[in-house]
Structure 1
Amino acid sequence: MKKTLYALLFIGVLVVAVVASGCIGGETTTQPTSSPTQTTTTTEEKKVTIVIWHAIGPNELKAFEDLIAEFEIEYPNIDIQLEQKADLETSLKAAIPAGQGPDLFMWAHDWIGKFAEAGLLEPIDEYVTPEILNKFSPMAQNAIEYGGHYYAMPYAAETVALIYNKDLVPNPPKTFDEMKAIMEKYYNEAEGTYGLATPMDPYFLSGWVHAFGGYYFDDKTKTPGLDKPETLQGFKFFFEQIFPYVAKTQDYNAQVSLFHDGKAPMMINGPWSIPDVRNAGINFGIVPLPAINDQQRPHPYGGVRLIYVAKLTDPSKKDAIWTFLKWFTTNPDVIKTLSLQNGYIPVLTEVLNDPEIQNDPVLYGFGQAVQYAIPMPKSPEMGAVWGPVGTAITDIIAEKKTIEQALQDAQTEILDALSGG
């Protein structure tokens, strides 16, 4: 499932949540109103079976199976059954209302809005205390909440960062001015070299838009923000300060190939791109996108991997379910294993600060980038946003429209879609 989160962005229109940031109208994390239920499993209790549906790839599944085996030794009265589903979303939407769904399922946080609004999730507010929340990165804290309730627990995240070729850039840029100087140095279109390789779509441009307080969609007000001056400022920054140094193509493979072939010293991409970077023999490093100035820095969209609690038909299992969720998501040894074996970026702060993780350039580099990321909007309405924003970017690149006109047209199209027009 290495590419799952990124792939979701481009199969139709997807996705999900904005963090509690004044610049994008994010939501305030909801605090639980009751104390958590104490959960312990003893040999006197009857055995409980917890079924988990997932779509995890075979290369990543073994780590989960091994960890679950450890859990079952520690909690012998709780049996965990992993079941893979080829079409997880369709299966869940059919099974849960019929009372035949799983207890838990695993997917990115982009489903939380539509599943919660459909009544397919079980709130776990009584367990998610401030102490639990504070164990995780801000993006992860935000991702598990929707409409004032907590429905899931986080275990990993993804976002984009600046991947640089150490043979061309011995010292990574700490500021945008330094990044621009590197782009200027290596850009020579006549010789086929560029200052930066970057895919150009709503996901990859989001960091620059958010840097200035702009946004595509406000999860709290459920309104698009393409007509906001801050959004316009972010788009202008990208197209005036970055776009001149990149290849004028939106083809993902064409962009990343420039970095693989040594024709660009830096690339903006996510952890899913690292296997190909390694295969290309690039001596690389990873750092967060550099700050523009003291007040503004890029905040790219990110995705969080969650374990959701499906609407329960047997509430008596809830304590056992929480016992597993807490063990799996707040146990540093578990998260460290997933990070080292599967390359998952930890959202558990204790693991991110672990010396072994910090010595891994990929885990630590993207882990630092996650600290600045904003979770993709969680509302179902976000499905009406990705397409028009993508079209706006394409029209700007093709010089069919000015930045102002492209954004205004996107705003109008989104509003029409949201109003049923």
Structure 2
Amino acid sequence: MVVVGLLLAACTTEVAPSTTEGPRPTVTSPSVTKTVEPDRLEVWVDDLRAAVLAPFVADFAERAGVTVDVVSYPFDEITTAAATGDGPDIFVASHDRLASLLEQGAVVRVDLGVVGPDLDPVAVQAVTSGGETYAIPYGLEAVALYVNVDTVAGDVVPDTFASLRTLCASFETCVGIPEGLYHQYGFLSSSGGYVFRPSPGGGWSVNDVGLSKGVEGAKALGRLVADGTVFAGPYGDVVDGFVAGETPFLITGPWQVRPFGDAGVDFVVHPLPTLEGRSLRPFVGVQAFFVSAGAPPDLAESFVREVLARPELLTAAALADDRVPAYLPARSKLDAHIAGFVESVDGGDLLPGVAEMVAVWDPLDAALDAIYSGLDPVGALTSAEEAVVRATAP
């Protein structure tokens, strides 16, 4: 890890009052074993968020007379380290880590305050458990359709898989899609499939597994693979095929916007095409700022209110790596590439944020592999569903 900012202002430990009118975000902390320093915060974020936070943190630290250490960690490693109870006070994580963080008692409730009504309801739902919010969401992600405009005209909007096949007449493969459930969940959901049924009050019912309800979408996927419309393969292979112009279309998420731009690929992003008259509902992921159970409550509350809940900070944190902002007013001025993901985010299904998801990936990936190979989708999905039910049974 690398400390990217040690921001200190001496003289006083009194936190400056907020200039924002309205209800104050609050942080509620249980008793923890970590030694709490009332005038110091440690914030763990990835490199991109560290650069975004720097000016906001510097201003806060100077006005409040406190020390704020911003520590750069690889995004995927932050949650594991934070869950030890002796890690950061504030950290970023994806919403699907919330269940395990709560089980470990690692995070506390956070009131969204005045910014709450302007946040995407799906993003808020993602960080809510038992009617309480546990983070401030800043960005959403889902897969959409990339078009390589060096191979297909950029003004062509392929809105169905049938139209894609027509556009790809001169190509051996048409649409590259990384293999596995994450990228291909939308095919199952298009015909009513789901992993765990969402509960009306938030969360998911892990006793209600609906994978077999996606069989019609799975059959359609099998046909698309068989006729060459879809190439489902390892992530690197499908991305390389798109960059090389061998596959004119690619379905993946916003994490490829920057790498493609850096590689000089001329591309546009469109909403996902429909499948036999049905809309694909991809998984939606949410990134958010969490507050550790070991954070000094008063200082953490002020940091949430004066830094994390600021619209300009939330917007910049999302756009730093091309995510769709959770702050809804920011969506009126999005770059065209990011705007292409909004429909997927709005029309998708939240990735279930429950620990039982660990039992889902392998059986479903195996079922999809079988479907690519031409095996019976009914049998493949039924077997996968039975495996998940057995693994998640109380």
Q: For the superposition of Structure 1 and Structure 2, which TM-score range results when normalised by the shorter chain?
A: 0.7 to 0.9
Change (3 A) 1:371 1:330: farther
Aligned match of 1:369: 344
Q: Return the letter of the residue paired with 2:122.
A: M
Corresponding residue to 2:190 among 196, 211, 217 = 211
Change (3 A) 1:243 1:115: farther
CA distance in 1 between counterparts of 2:364 and 2:43 reads 35
Report if aligned partners of 2:118, 2:327 keep a CA contact under 8 Å in 1. Answer: yes
1:334 counterpart = 2:313? yes
Q: Return the letter of the residue paired with 1:199.
A: P
Give secondary structure in 2 for the equivalent of 1:197.
strand
Change (3 A) 1:61 1:51: closer
Corresponding residue to 1:67 among 30, 41, 56 = 56
Aligned match of 1:115: 101
Report if aligned partners of 1:144, 1:153 keep a CA contact under 8 Å in 2. Answer: yes
1:26-37 alignment runs, 5 A limit: 37=24
Change (3 A) 1:187 1:391: farther
Q: Return the letter of the residue paired with 1:371.
A: D
Aligned match of 1:222: 206
Aligned match of 1:15: none
1:139 counterpart = 2:118? no
1:413 counterpart = 2:392? no
1:145-164 alignment runs, 5 A limit: 145-164=128-147
Change (3 A) 1:344 1:182: closer
Aligned match of 1:258: 241
Aligned match of 2:88: 102
1:395 counterpart = 2:383? no
Give secondary structure in 1 for the equivalent of 2:106.
coil
Q: TM-score, normalised by structure 2?
A: 0.80
Task: Quote how far apart the aligned CAs of 1:209 are.
Answer: 1.9
1:79-94 alignment runs, 5 A limit: 79-85=67-73, 87-94=77-84
Q: Deviations over 1:178-219 (max 9, x none)?
A: x4223233145xxx6322111121011112222232112235
Task: Quote how far apart the aligned CAs of 1:393 are.
Answer: 0.7
Q: Return the letter of the residue paired with 1:370.
A: V
Give secondary structure in 2 for the equivalent of 1:350.
helix
1:379 counterpart = 2:354? yes
Q: Percent identity, aligned pairs only?
A: 22
Change (3 A) 1:165 1:216: same
Q: Return the letter of the residue paired with 1:350.
A: P
Aligned match of 1:10: none
Change (3 A) 1:253 1:326: same
CA distance in 2 between counterparts of 1:327 and 1:207 reads 38
Give secondary structure in 1 for the equivalent of 2:157.
coil
Corresponding residue to 1:49 among 37, 40, 43 = 40
Give secondary structure in 2 for the equivalent of 1:268.
strand
CA distance in 2 between counterparts of 1:341 and 1:111 reads 21
Q: Return the letter of the residue paired with 1:171.
A: D
CA distance in 1 between counterparts of 2:304 and 2:250 reads 36
Task: Name structure 1 gaps, 5 residues minimum.
Answer: 1-34, 40-45
**Segment drifting more, 255-264 vs 197-206:** 255-264
Change (3 A) 1:326 1:371: farther
Aligned match of 2:215: 232
Q: Return the letter of the residue paired with 1:382.
A: M
Q: Return the letter of the residue paired with 2:106.
A: L
CA distance in 1 between counterparts of 2:372 and 2:274 reads 24
CA distance in 1 between counterparts of 2:310 and 2:96 reads 24
CA distance in 2 between counterparts of 1:210 and 1:247 reads 18
**Number of aligned pairs?**
355
Aligned match of 1:324: 303
Q: Deviations over 1:340-376 (max 9, x none)?
A: 554343121111113xx2xx22222224432223221
Report if aligned partners of 1:139, 1:374 keep a CA contact under 8 Å in 2. Answer: no
Q: Return the letter of the residue paired with 2:379.
A: Q
CA distance in 2 between counterparts of 1:193 and 1:142 reads 42
Q: Return the letter of the residue paired with 1:375.
A: L
CA distance in 2 between counterparts of 1:414 and 1:258 reads 33
CA distance in 1 between counterparts of 2:115 and 2:360 reads 33
Aligned match of 1:20: none
CA distance in 2 between counterparts of 1:203 and 1:302 reads 10
Give secondary structure in 2 for the equivalent of 1:245.
coil
Task: Name structure 2 gaps, 5 residues minimum.
Answer: 1-21, 27-36, 198-202
Calculate the aligned-residue CA RMSD, in Å. Answer: 2.9
